[in-house]
Amino acid sequence: MEMKLSHPKIQQLSSSVKARLQSQITLNTYGAAVREVIQNSIDAGASQIDIKLDLASLSFWVKDDGVGIPPDELERICQRYFTSKLRRLEDLTSIKTFGFRGEALHSLASMSNLTIVSKRADFNSSYITRFTGDGNSNIAFPFDMSNREENPVNDFFYFEPFRSSGTIVTASSLFQNIPVRRNNMLRLPEYNLLHEVKEVVLKSLIDHPNVRITVWELNKGSQTSKKVLKVNRVFGNLNWYSNLLTSIYGSSLLPTHEVVNASFKDIKMHGVIGLQPNQSRKYQYISINGRLVQVSEEDSKTINKIFVGCNFGGQQLNLTDFTDHKKRVSSVGKPFSKYPVFLINFECKTQSGDLLQDPSKTIVHPRQWRVLFKMLNKVFISFLKHAGYDLQLNRKVISSPTPSPTKRMLEEPTDILPLKRSSAASRFILNSNSRFGSIKSDEIRGMLLNSDRPGYFYKPVNIKSSKTNESHLTASISCHLHKCSEDDDIRRINTMSEYPDAVDLENISLKKECLHEDNCRVVLQLYKKFILVVIESEGTKNLMIIDQHACDERIKVENLYMTFLHQVYDTDLRVKLAQPFDLSVPGEEIEYLTAFRPNFNSFGIDFETHETDGRVHITHLPELLIEKIANDAQFLRASILQHVWDLALHRKSAKLTGSPADWFQKIKDLPGIIVEVINSKACRSAIMFGDLLEMKDMQNMVKCLHRCQLPFQCAHGRPTITPLADLSKQN
């Protein structure tokens, strides 16, 4: 007998299930919940907002002096799609408030214990209503705020009486009916939750200089509270944006700045740009009519390339932190990034499509972005010119080669090197004082046909001839210059294809094991710059050239890394400074420094933080850094903050696990300044061009290179070995 499958009927979800599902879409973080209440207060005309945070229990309290909510509306305030701000879709083009959906408080009531107390100026009494996590509320009833015994919450969230009108919203045990989400939130460091709230305050106040906000944080252990930020009202927009940034993140974020203004047709732009760089792109804000724009990664890179291209921060540094202005650290590598700090707000006609893109009220794809982006670029260029920077906007900005192994290098085999070098490149490098990371064929052709020595050009070595052998090739390399006249036909050659006997080495590859002494034979030293070797492996025989400086640099840098990381595991690297460095640091980064202090200690860096005045005293440094830093406090500050952001953004691991035997895998987690110093030290101490080497010295170098973890590049990413010819097919 065939059984019929029963299909469930399509039916509407219950109200409680719908509320639960929708609440996770609208509000999914602690900061998002606080944001909705703050912005409701601003929409209600509040000029003063007080916020209290209990991060340990995911609870908060917000009081404002807005117009208040009448009792009959208080009972409906958390019902979905109930709002006083929108009637028709056409109203979106003229809307001035943050909210209009009628969803935020409904979602908040569905995931927390929510209590709302409000008073209108035309009512004698305050009214209270409570929501219990299912979105349903009791009726609003009068509430005597002066009677402390009737206060339903603890002392920290005490309902203080209103002067005339206002609203108090208390949300406790956020995400209580979404246990996985709540547990994830509780596992986050409290400073992360606090940073969310700080950013919410900034985003909410961009277009509201007439609102004062004060935020307090509860210390659950001591039952005391501390003020974490206060943004005062500013009448007039001239200094509002700088006041907003410094009030939230500290004055050290924006010690000096320029106010910028621009207009195009009916679009106006106002903002502020800092003159001192920061090590993170976090402090870059662009908004339209007070609503933040989510700038794409591509556009963000384009903006920052304008600043990188003119070495922003390299010419003008804040000198207030220098103890010795005359001596500054020079750096070949890139131990820290230099990003501009800015807050830009556009005033233009509201596009209804912009307001419907994201429940967080962020604009993801602005309709006028093409025009606004061009305005931004012109303003940034004008700012840099006015600040005295030499703009080289047509220069292609390329980041420095990675000096230490990246995560990808550690996950993939490091003992195989694809060698793609044309024979022309090989011949050119023999008579060059340069070392190349990569050479383009166009460059090689130009170098071959436009030698610095008049009347000379590099003539290709014919190694496909039946007479060619290893000794003949070696001799040919030593006499590869050929005299010719200015009108020689060879001068007109402009493509490598016109060399019919040039050797194609594109497919040659080399494994680390090929450098073993059984497979690699040293032939001779060339021009006191290179080591000529013959490598035989897996039926192939290749003539290779080793850069003696790059080779020795790789050997030394790995020894230095291994020695330092063994010390990290086994000893205390901290050396007390005779004169501590006193640095001014933004409050948010001070909190990160405090959280990551054990990581800094493991590398020999120690400090004392003073959050009240935004100062950090560097008291200890490893011996490796003391000589490098000298008296350049600004360089030290940037280097330390770079590591802070590398840890905060999980680019580096904050926990030093494993053992000294894992030293190579731990290089990627070293502070950038330590990587820079070790690389520089290896480079300076390595064998140089012009140093004469005995045969035994060259053989020993090749043996040591074979033992390296990453033998095919120097500390700065340049190749240590280059192919010259494939000898396996020769007679």
- With 0-12 / 13-18 / 19 or more C-beta atoms within 10 angstroms meaning exposed / middle / buried, residue 279 is buried
pLDDT given at position 284: 96
Instruction: Inform me whether the pLDDT recorded for 402 exceeds 90.
Output: no
How many Å apart are CA 53 and CA 62, to the nearest integer? 9
Instruction: Inform me whether the pLDDT recorded for 710 exceeds 70.
Output: yes
Q: Where are the alpha helices (DSSP H) in 450-596?
A: 470-478, 548-570, 587-595
How many Å apart are CA 352 and CA 622, to the nearest integer? 57
pLDDT given at position 11: 53
* Domain covering 416-553+687-726: architecture: 2-Layer Sandwich (3.30)
Instruction: Inform me whether the pLDDT recorded for 252 exceeds 80.
Output: yes
From 140-144, 260-264, 431-435, the region with the lowest mean pLDDT: 431-435
Encode burial over 483-503: b for 16+ CB neighbours within 10 A, e otherwise: eeeeeeeeeeeeebeebeebb
Instruction: Inform me whether the pLDDT recorded for 209 exceeds 80.
Output: yes
CA torsion sign for 370, 268, 48, 143 is: negative
- With 0-12 / 13-18 / 19 or more C-beta atoms within 10 angstroms meaning exposed / middle / buried, residue 216 is middle
Same fold, 234-398 and 416-553+687-726: no
Tokens matching residue 607: 């400090």
pTM of the model: 0.73
Pick the CATH number of 15-230 from 3.20.20.70, 3.40.50.2300, 3.40.50.150, 3.30.565.10: 3.30.565.10
How many Å apart are CA 344 and CA 187, to the nearest integer? 34
How many Å apart are CA 459 and CA 477, to the nearest integer? 10
pLDDT given at position 328: 58
How many Å apart are CA 42 and CA 37, to the nearest integer? 9
Instruction: Inform me whether the pLDDT recorded for 481 exceeds 90.
Output: no
From 15-29, 41-55, 131-145, 693-707, the region with the lowest mean pLDDT: 15-29
Q: Are 594 and 609 in contact (CB under 8 A)?
A: yes
% residues pLDDT > 90 (the chain): 42
- Which CATH superfamily groups domain 564-685? MutL, C-terminal domain, regulatory subdomain (3.30.1370.100)
How many Å apart are CA 42 and CA 45, to the nearest integer? 5
Q: How many helices (H) and strands (E) does the chain have?
A: 22, 24
725 pLDDT tier (thresholds 50, 70, 90): confident
From 299-308, 355-364, 712-721, the region with the lowest mean pLDDT: 355-364
417 pLDDT tier (thresholds 50, 70, 90): very low
CA 523 to chain centre: 47
How many Å apart are CA 578 and CA 620, to the nearest integer? 9
From 251-255, 409-413, 465-469, 615-619, the region with the lowest mean pLDDT: 465-469
128 pLDDT tier (thresholds 50, 70, 90): confident
- Tokens 């209590």 locate to 115
How many CB atoms are closer than 10 A to CB 578?
A: 6
DSSP string, 560-622: HHHHHHHHHHHS---EEEEEEEEEE--HHHHHHHHHTHHHHHHTT-EEEEETTTTEEEEEEE-
Tokens matching residue 560: 């230095």
Regarding predicted confidence, which is higher, 168 or 234?
168
What residues contact residue 229 under an 8 Å CB cut-off, 6+ apart?
Answer: 198, 201, 213, 214, 215, 247, 248, 587
Q: Are 575 and 623 in contact (CB under 8 A)?
A: yes
Give me the residues paired with residue 274 across strands. Answer: 257
pLDDT given at position 148: 61
Tokens matching residue 586: 């933004």
Output the average pLDDT for the chain.
77
- With 0-12 / 13-18 / 19 or more C-beta atoms within 10 angstroms meaning exposed / middle / buried, residue 613 is exposed
Starting at the edge strand found earlier in the chain, the sheet holding 606-610 runs 575-584, 615-621, 606-610
- Tokens 């731990």 locate to 666
CA torsion sign for 315, 321, 326, 331 is: negative
3-state secondary structure 37-86: HHHHHHHCCCCEEEEEEEHHHCEEEEEECCCCCCHHHHCCCCCCCCCCCC
- Strands 342-347, 284-288: pairing kind: parallel
pLDDT given at position 638: 92
DSSP conformation class of 505: -
Size (the chain), residues: 731
668 pLDDT tier (thresholds 50, 70, 90): very high
For 594-607, how does the pLDDT look when each residue is reduced to its tens digit (9 = 90+)?
999 999 999 999 99
How many Å apart are CA 437 and CA 719, to the nearest integer? 6
Amino acid at 572: D
How many CB atoms are closer than 10 A to CB 587?
A: 22
- Strands 48-54, 212-219: pairing kind: parallel
* Nearest by Cα to 616 from 596, 634, 600, 593: 593
- Tokens 């097919």 locate to 729
Rounded (10°) CA dihedral 340, 345, 351, 357: 50
Regarding predicted confidence, which is higher, 542 or 333?
542
Instruction: Inform me whether the pLDDT recorded for 237 exceeds 70.
Output: no
Domains of the chain by residue range: 15-230, 234-398, 416-553+687-726, 564-685
Instruction: Inform me whether the pLDDT recorded for 137 exceeds 60.
Output: no
* Nearest by Cα to 59 from 130, 126, 153, 140: 153
How many Å apart are CA 77 and CA 72, to the nearest integer? 9
Regarding predicted confidence, which is higher, 21 or 553?
553
DSSP conformation class of 415: S
Q: Which of 110-119, 131-140, 436-445 has the highest mean pLDDT?
A: 110-119
User: Is the CATH number of domain 234-398 3.30.230.10?
Assistant: yes
How many Å apart are CA 499 and CA 503, to the nearest integer? 9
